[in-house]
Chains A and B, each alone.
Chain A
Amino acid sequence: MKPEPQSLALLRVANPVRVDSLDVRSPQAAAAFEQIIREPRDSEDARRRRWSLARLADTLSERGRLAVGGAGITAVAAALIVAVLSGSAATPAFAGWTARPTVGLQKQVAAATRGCGLTNPALVEARGPYTAAVFASRSGGTACVIGPSLSFVGSVGGVLAADNRFKPDQIGVADASGSDKDGHGFILLTGRVGSHVRSIVIHRRHHAGLIASISGGWYLAWWPAGTHATTATVTTTSGRYNLALPAGAKAASPCSGVTHNGRSVGCASVGPGSNGPGSAGVPGPPLIASPIARPFRNTLLVQVDNATRVLVCFHPPADAIAALQTNGPTGPCTHATLLTRLPPRYPVQKNLLEVFPKAVWEIRLPAGFRHQRHPVFLVVADGSSNFPPDRTELNLNW
């Protein structure tokens, strides 16, 4: 047997994730197992329906959070949708569809349960002859729209497993597009809603507001393609803010249908979100989303949305919010810097600020700061006076 080259031996030593340190009996693993075995096994029909199942971790305001102790970023809401067409006769483009939904009646709940192949929907709504539903599960959910010439089933994945990590003013945004049998396109938005969210109105150019249905911790709205949806107004118990909608939700033209296994099916797409200050006119609550990169030992780049100030406390004071209100820096705290351009010294992707516009903050770690000795430091973000500051503890072992 030949000896391993030095380069590979070096690489082996630097293995970033060692399997022997992982515990297959961890609570996360046990929960994953229990969840999986409750899922139905594939039938041939289900395989056809799931021809393009995918998941996306992308939201406007629902972001992963770093947990204390390096537990990692919690999964975030996401979606992707698979459209499957029924074989009924062609109809005009979503005839009878309404911008204001009605709560699903018992017969519509039954129709959704039967048509979508799932039980216990969290949300059922009707827009004219069309019934839409969201079925929740511990890991996510399934969105479904049925009606004349349309049967749409999709997976919404990666939703926060623990509701108490989901901020009460926030909504997760996942968009998808599909088309009916005749190629008429539609756009769908869905996601989780925080407990303080009272209403969501989708604004489309040259159209009246579109009311989203909210029920069971979820919301859903869908509309015929061809109209630009620009923003959503989220009303909470403490105020109101606007969100810029993902590009997919703004799509004006219906997607072109594709064929799979001899059946005509709709297409699906998910657009990127954006939530930078000013992107929607009125910024949402400040949100410390996640670290992005550590280009140098003493420099950390963190994504913080909707913040006007970011304060970093390396030895967390008893009340960091008070430290923020004293207009810091005080004691062990210092200000982070909002990057408006990427300094050429950074060996990170040049499009960083395009990915996170107005949301990349640079944290300079003190000289001699060692994560072994100081594993956790505190970040506090202040934003619009309409919303309380956000705070989180970061661990350099992320």
Chain B
Amino acid sequence: MRQSAKEDQDRFAALFEAHYALVWAFAARRVGRDLADEVTSETLLVAWRRLDVVPPEPLPWLYGVARNVISRQRQASAKHMKTQELLARERPGRVFEEDGEHPELWLAWQQLSEADREVLSLTVWEDLAVSDAAKVLNVSASVFSVRLHRARRRLERQLGEAAPSGVPAIPEAT
């Protein structure tokens, strides 16, 4: 039975308050702060419209929606896509550069593929467990673990580190 409009609004208000900043940060890391407002609004609008299907632990679902919103934006126009790629590629590096502490990280990050950056970002910056990060990418936890391991190795290679061989030192799937 459908909940009343008031209950829906209260539920959405709680979801909004708990996740707005997280979704905004997720978007800002990928498309820049200047477009993060739009991506966040669009993502949460989808959540509002489809409140019935939002899972009890909504964060991976919201990140997945935000990825789709960003993807659609990039597909919508070749020019826009190029613009966003430029912004997305420049922004993290700029932060590192301005910090002035990790220029090697800026250079290494520039060399990674978008897929590698995504699994690293979900793990480190979004701070998701492997099982949740896997939900965002719609893959199994084991597949995500492999991708993360490989991405980390490539990052370390770019950083000039000698990555340890053997079992990956990554968070275990929960």
- B137 interfacial contact with A, CB 8 Å: no
Q: A271 on the interface (CB 8 Å rule)?
A: yes
Give the Cβ gap from A357 to chain B, nearest Cβ, in Å. Answer: 11
Q: Name A1-54 residues within 8 Å CB distance of B.
A: 2-8, 10-19, 22-24, 28-29, 32-33, 35-37, 39-42, 46, 52-54
Contact indicator B102/A14 (Cβ below 8 Å): yes
Give the interface size bracket for A toward B: 35 or more
Q: How far is the CA of A297 from the CA of B95 in the complex (A)?
A: 11
In the docked arrangement, what's the CA distance between A5 and B20, Å? 30
A387–B20 alpha-carbon span in the complex (Å): 41
Of the listed residues A157, A272, A371, the one surrounded by the most CB atoms of chain B closer than 10 A to its CB is A272
Query: In the complex the two chains form, is A22's CB within 8 Å of B76's CB?
Result: no
Q: Is the CB of B124 within 8 A of A11?
A: yes
Tell me whether A10 and B102 are in contact in the complex, defined as CB-CB below 8 angstroms, given that A17-B33, A58-B77, A355-B82 are known contacts: yes
A158 interface residue (CB < 8 Å to B): yes
CB of A56 within 8 A of chain B?
yes
**Cβ-based interface call for A294 (8 A):** yes
Q: Please determine whether A54 and B76 come into contact, CB atoms closer than 8 angstroms.
A: yes
Closest to A272 in B: B79
Q: Please, what's the 1-or-0 string for B4-34, where 1 marks a CB less than 8 Å from any CB in chain A?
A: 0000110011001100111011001100011
| Contact B28 A17, beta carbon cutoff 8 Å | yes
Residue in B48, B80, B91, B120 whose beta carbon sits within 8 Å of that of A36 in the complex: B48
Partner of B38, one of A2, A3, A40, A57: A57
Q: Are B85 and A349 in contact (CB under 8 A)?
A: yes
A292 vs B85: C-alpha distance in the bound complex, in angstroms?
A: 11
The answer to whether B80 touches A57 (Cβ under 8 A) is yes
Q: A8-B152, A36-B44 are in contact. Are A272 and B77 (CB under 8 A)?
A: yes
> Would B105 and A14 count as touching, CB distance under 8 A?
yes
How long is the Cα–Cα vector from A271 to B79 in the complex, in angstroms?
8
Q: A19-B21, A19-B25, A273-B79 in contact; A7/B45 too (CB < 8 A)?
A: no
Residues of A within 8 A of B82 (CB): 349, 351, 354-355
Interface-central residue, A4, A7, A13, A55, by most chain B CB under 10 Å: A7
Binary contact readout B63-100 vs A (1 if CB under 8 angstroms, 0 otherwise):
00000010011011111101101100111101111110
> Is B120's CB under 8 angstroms from A3's CB?
no
A residues less than 8 Å from B72 (CB atoms)? 52-55, 80
Q: Knowing A11-B124, A158-B38, say if A297 contacts B48 (CB, 8 Å).
A: no
B111 to chain A, nearest CB (A): 10
How close is B57's CB to chain A, nearest CB, in angstroms? 17
Interface flags for A262-278 (1: CB within 8 Å of B; 0: not) read 00000000111110000
Q: Cβ of B40: which chain A residues have Cβ within 8 Å of it?
A: 32
Contact count A vs B, C-beta below 8 Å? 175
Beyond A10-B102, A16-B95, A355-B83, is A39–B161 a contact (Cβ under 8 Å)? Answer: no
Give the contacts of A269-298 with B (CB-CB under 8 A): 270-274, 290, 292-294, 297
Q: How far is the CA of A270 from the CA of B8 in the complex (A)?
A: 35
Closest-by-CB residue of B relative to A42 is B49
Asked if B131 lies at the interface with its beta carbon under 8 angstroms from chain A, I say no
Nearest A residue to B83, CB-CB? A355
Residue B118 lies at the interface, judged by CB distance under 8 Å to chain A: no
Whether A349 contacts B37 by the Cβ 8 Å rule is no
Most buried by B among A41, A78, A294: A41
Question: Which residue of A39, A54, A78 has the most chain B CB atoms within 10 A of its CB atom?
Answer: A54
Pick the residue among A13, A39, A348 that contacts B48 (CB under 8 A): A39
Q: Distance in Å from the Cβ of A342 to the closest Cβ of chain B?
A: 12
Interfacial chain B residues near A42, Cβ < 8 Å: 49-50
In the bound complex, residues from chain A placing their C-beta under 8 Å from that of B35 are 57, 73, 75
* B150 shortest CB reach to chain A, Å: 13
Instruction: Take A3-B169, A16-B29, A75-B38 as given contacts and tell me if A8 and B21 are in contact as well, using a CB distance cutoff of 8 Å.
Output: no
Interface on A for B, CB 8 Å cutoff? Answer: 2-8, 10-19, 22-24, 28-29, 32-33, 35-37, 39-42, 46, 52-58, 64, 72-73, 75, 78, 80, 139, 157-158, 270-274, 290, 292-294, 297, 347-349, 351-352, 354-355, 371, 396, 398
- Other CB < 8 Å A-B pairs besides A7-B155, A55-B38, 5 of them? A3-B169, A5-B163, A10-B102, A12-B124, A292-B86
What residues make up the interface of B, taking CB atoms closer than 8 Å to A? 8-9, 12-13, 16-17, 20-22, 24-25, 28-29, 33-35, 37-38, 40-42, 44-45, 48-51, 69, 72-73, 75-80, 82-83, 85-86, 89-92, 94-99, 101-102, 105, 110, 120, 123-125, 152, 155-156, 159, 161, 163, 169-171
List, sorted by A's number, 6 A–B pairs whose CB atoms are closer than 8 Å: A16-B28, A23-B21, A29-B24, A39-B45, A55-B38, A292-B90
